[in-house]
Structure 1
Amino acid sequence: MRRGKRFLKLYSLMLTMLATLTILAVVLRPVDGWVPLLKQQYTLHFGPQVLNLHPLATPTPTEPVYEIKAQFHGDSGLISGQMNVTVPELRLDGLPLYLYVPMQVYGVKVNGTAVKAQVSEGQVLVPVKKSTAPQTVTLTFRTQLPKAPSRTGYWQGVATASYWYPIVGVERDGEWMKRPATLGFGDPYLMDLGNYRVELTTPGAFKWYSSGVQTGEQKLEDGRKMLTFQAQKVRNFAMVGGAGFAETKYRTEEGMLVTVASVAKADLGRAAALTRSAVKTYTQRIGTNPYPVLSVLELPAGTIYAHELPNLALFAQDLWEYDDPEHWIVHEIAHAWFYNAVGNYEVETPWLDEGLADYAALLDMERREGAGAYQARINDAWKRFANNYTYSPYPYGTSNRVKTGKSAVPYGTYQTSQAHYYYTYQRMVLMYHDLRKLLGDEAFFKFLKQYYLKNAGRTATRADLEKALADIEPKAVGRLKMWLDTPNDELIGNVAGRFQK
């Protein structure tokens, strides 16, 4: 009898606990459910990372030369083309070409001889032996831009062509790296600098903005036109085209031609004012941008939030409706300095370009609005950070989902955008502010300029950032490493005294 009563009590307790847990699961359910959060925690503690790599000290880039002849077929959104890509030297057998968007590839040749390439969803593997002599791959491709508001797509009369052709893979530690997988946010891209000559046949009414300099325009008999572009030392060649852009242009004192264009003419003035301010701030605080062109483009609402491409800064018309749109516009412009001029492998060190671009955006706000506005932004970032709240554009109070993470980790370590923004952007902004206070303005900006000048036109690594800082103040490197490598719960306690008043 006693055993029966004990069993009933235990059974009743278990039912009560189960009911309580069920109620809590419903009441505390995250906006996008429990599955992403559970997956995030499992991956963080038990699962493999997208890239499980030791820090890269010295990249071994190939710097291929691309010659592309393409046609944009108007409202169908189809791009068809032929491509020759020459690799000056091939240190490994086989040549992978990454396919970042769905496309058809056929007619592959190596040095004029047809070969049977292995074509998969994510890449084309060209059978070619390593050689100290240049190797040229020729192929035909067809890329259907989806009629959707995406980074690569055709939406409301605007074509955004990013990663629209096969891109030469990246070598690391004596082997070809696998094309990164995407989680639906961030920049899961991996590519070396390349040199481009692009010929584009397009409907005559379309105006195109690209990663390169337009070198020619020829009208064709059927109402179309043929444009030619050249670009040197860019990570990829991107294009944005449409018939409804209003634009304004100016040339900086250093000679760069800056174009600001918008699908909404009423927004052109404020976008142009932000662009002028940002370009001036970054030139003064960081250094002269070495590229001849920069285009800042406002695209149709819903197209993207904001995104960088080589010599292009893109944002959607509805960005103005979010909190602090000015910050994200000048953030994308800052990528012309960090990601484009000073490159990095985004998938391996996402914190490197994003952190610098986001802190640079604060420097522009400081110049436009004063030191008080800058400090208010830092105070807000600290409040979010200390409470494990993720970064803008998420509302204040949104959890970062991972309370014990670090910043110096590859893309894909965090399975949610909340954690990605927190560790890749927000924590890095506070790191650079902390270093600025430690060094003082004069030494801090020498550090930024040193890093920029020594790494412009190449792929930078964490080691390059540490060296630039060590050249200014060796003792400060320990502070930088603390911000990059310390688990977050421990870091908050370590630095709280420097932010709390």
Structure 2
Amino acid sequence: MKSKKYIWLVILVAAIGLLIYFAPIKNSNRTVYNMDLKYNDKDKTIIGTEVVDFINTYDVNLSEVYMHLYPNAFKDKSKVPFTKEEIGLAYPNGFKPGYIEINGVTFGKNEKATYSIDQKTGEILKILLPKKLEKGDRISFAIGFKVQIPPSCGRFGYGNNTIQVTNFYPILSVYDQNGWNNDPYYALGDPFYSDVSNYKVKLAVPKGMEVATTGVVKSKARQGDMDVLTIDAPNVRDFAVVMSSKFKVAEGDVDGIKVKSYYFDEDSGLKALKYAQDAIRFYNSYIGKYPYKEYSVVESDFYMGGMEYPNLVFISKDLYSKDNLFNLEYVIAHETAHQWWYGVVGNNEVREAWLDEGLTEYTTIMYIERYYGKATADAVFKSIISGEFYKFSKTNKDDGMVKTLGQFKDWNDYTNIVYNKGAMVFNELRNLIGDEKFKEVLDKYYSDYKYKNATTQNLIDVVDSVTGKDTGGFFEEWLD
């Protein structure tokens, strides 16, 4: 067992190295995460150090900051963020814990920070600042950590082919009108809420390991039996990678954006590339230009269909077959739309999940309309979305949409209200204001809240601004 003194020395050396290596981005007007990570494939662990150059953009003076430690949600089998029905799907080879250990926090050159981890959940790290931080002020701190990746076919874990490394590092909570948002990792929905930041990452992986990543790989060098990648990911609200030694990769170009497909089955993998390109092309023209240089669609050991992260989505390998091509296309179109709704325009996915999911689902219907015609889109809408809603009414309070993830009964309840009813709201809005105004709404919502977090009220304000009408009654009838 290494001494505490040795651990602190390792953290200090790594932190100074990161600060020197990434010094050029110090003048950014965003919080910056500088990470040095090493992945051990045998143990399925990541040893890491991150230097967080935090800027207080909030309208309050801060005495402390809070950070999510999402991997600790996977530590105890009785508390993992899956329903009872999902446990077998999430852990097909049996349960083993996932977690994150914090090895120390320091300010400046070697000032040990006072910090604590929430004892009840282990999911929140509280760091006391050495002095109050006013709006616009910066402070840097370094965190040493170790991550154990679990054998889970969910967002965070590994299967027989891929390793999903997501929501794995300490990430700052968002401070808003509700204070610090330290919500737990709920079993339902996407329990994430974050500010756009800049990421600079050095990642060491075993040689031959293919890495699909948020951002752009700027360099790759062989060091012994490891490949060391330097990754630049500006203006993103999260950072994720999916790794495999078995990946095949195909690339294409859409409007100067490099689109990649990581796959195992070539026929389906090339189809996935086409679907991703088609989606980027349509959303670029209808909503606004995708602001990043690269976008990747990744076939993964993932049982939940698809999941979005900045510049990167992973899709269940079960969809990569001739019998599932429509589902593959639909899921890729949906997850790609999330690059706009969640990725660029963010929102609190814990409290207002309908805002990104409902709009993403309806944007997917518009993708179907663009490539297959209005009649097909209407048929898909009725089959997938509105057909589930004949039993719901706009005024039934049990169907209220603006509520926290913990208030939904189960996955069916969440899906029907957040996805389906959410998509119905946008369909009704489009019918109410017409195609031209609806496009203006999406254009303005996208441009006004690019790289920001929007709320339901922000969306209503945009609609009112475009239409010149008070649409609060329309939204109130649907949402409450």
Q: Flag the structure with higher strand content.
A: 2
RMSD: 2.1
How far the C-alpha of 1:63 sits from its partner, in A, is 4.0
Q: Bigger CA drift: 321-330 or 455-464?
A: 321-330
1:184 to 179, 182, 187: 187
2:46 to 72, 76, 79: 79
Distance in 1 (CA, whole Å) between partners of 2:288 and 2:266 is 31
**Do residues 345 (structure 1) and 348 (structure 2) align?**
yes
Contact 1:331-1:361 within 8 A present in 2 as well: yes
Once the two structures are superposed, residues 221-261 of structure 1 have per-residue CA deviations (whole angstroms, 9 ceiling, x without a partner) of x22111000111211111111111112112222x2211111
How far the C-alpha of 1:134 sits from its partner, in A, is 1.7
Equivalent residue, structure 2, for 1:372: 375
1:161 to 165, 169, 175: 165
1:448 to 431, 442, 450: 442
**Do residues 273 (structure 1) and 253 (structure 2) align?**
no
State how many pairs are aligned. 409
Distance in 1 (CA, whole Å) between partners of 2:358 and 2:114 is 43
State the AA in 2 paired with 1:184: A
Once the two structures are superposed, residues 412-455 of structure 1 have per-residue CA deviations (whole angstroms, 9 ceiling, x without a partner) of 22131111111111011111111111122111111111111111
State the AA in 2 paired with 1:454: D
Distance in 1 (CA, whole Å) between partners of 2:382 and 2:446 is 27
Distance in 2 (CA, whole Å) between partners of 1:485 and 1:453 is 24
Q: Bigger CA drift: 310-319 or 110-119?
A: 110-119
Q: Which has the greater radius of gyration? A: 1
- The SS at the match of 1:76 is coil
- The SS at the match of 1:127 is strand
Q: Bigger CA drift: 184-193 or 167-176?
A: 167-176
How far the C-alpha of 1:267 sits from its partner, in A, is 1.2
Equivalent residue, structure 2, for 1:305: 305
State the AA in 2 paired with 1:64: T
Distance in 2 (CA, whole Å) between partners of 1:478 and 1:250 is 43
Contact 2:259-2:273 within 8 A present in 1 as well: no
- The SS at the match of 2:242 is strand
Contact 2:261-2:270 within 8 A present in 1 as well: no
Distance in 2 (CA, whole Å) between partners of 1:188 and 1:174 is 16
List gaps (5 residues or longer) in structure 2: 1-28, 72-98
How far the C-alpha of 1:191 sits from its partner, in A, is 1.6
How far the C-alpha of 1:266 sits from its partner, in A, is 2.9
Equivalent residue, structure 2, for 1:415: 409
How far the C-alpha of 1:476 sits from its partner, in A, is 6.1
How far the C-alpha of 1:319 sits from its partner, in A, is 2.9
Q: TM-score, with normalisation over the residues of structure 1?
A: 0.78
How far the C-alpha of 1:263 sits from its partner, in A, is 2.5
**Do residues 98 (structure 1) and 98 (structure 2) align?**
no
Q: Bigger CA drift: 113-122 or 234-243?
A: 113-122
Once the two structures are superposed, residues 451-487 of structure 1 have per-residue CA deviations (whole angstroms, 9 ceiling, x without a partner) of 111111211112221122112214361454145434x
1:474-485 superposed matches below 5 A: 474-475=468-469, 477-478=471-472, 480-485=474-479
Contact 1:407-1:483 within 8 A present in 2 as well: no
Q: TM-score, with normalisation over the residues of structure 2?
A: 0.81
Contact 2:460-2:472 within 8 A present in 1 as well: no
Equivalent residue, structure 2, for 1:225: 227
Once the two structures are superposed, residues 246-298 of structure 1 have per-residue CA deviations (whole angstroms, 9 ceiling, x without a partner) of 12112222x22111111322311221121121111111211111111111111
1:215 to 196, 214, 218: 218
Equivalent residue, structure 2, for 1:404: 398
Rate the CA distance shift 1:111–1:231 in 2: closer, same or farther, 3 A: same
Equivalent residue, structure 2, for 1:3: none
1:13-162 superposed matches below 5 A: 63-89=30-56, 91-101=61-71, 102-112=99-109, 113-120=111-118, 121-128=122-129, 129-132=131-134, 133-162=137-166
Contact 2:38-2:203 within 8 A present in 1 as well: yes
List gaps (5 residues or longer) in structure 1: 1-61, 390-401, 487-501
